[in-house]
Amino acid sequence: MARPPNPTGPSGPPEQLANVPPPPDLYATSDIRFVMIELGKVSTKVDRLIQDVEGQGTKIDAVQHPS
């Protein structure tokens, strides 16, 4: 589908930008730091959980298939 040509003249795009203040920050920097620290703690615990689960799988295999 073809686009209509850009309008020219008085109904065309504005020559100056509107004087609008920038939007406020969504979250304070301290809030972001807190979330990042907590995510680091959770990821450390998840890594430890993965290691523990892998260790349990090895133990279960040893019980199921004794040498």
Q: What is the pLDDT of residues 42-64, one digit of tens each?
A: 999 999 999 999 888 888 888 88
- If pLDDT is split at 50, 70 and 90, which confidence band does 30 have? confident
pTM value? Answer: 0.48
Please, which pLDDT band fits residue 28 given cuts at 50, 70 and 90? Answer: confident
Q: What share of the chain is helix, strand, coil (3-state, %, to 5)?
A: 60, 0, 40
pLDDT, residue 21, reads 86
Rounded Cα distance between 36 and 29, Å, is: 11
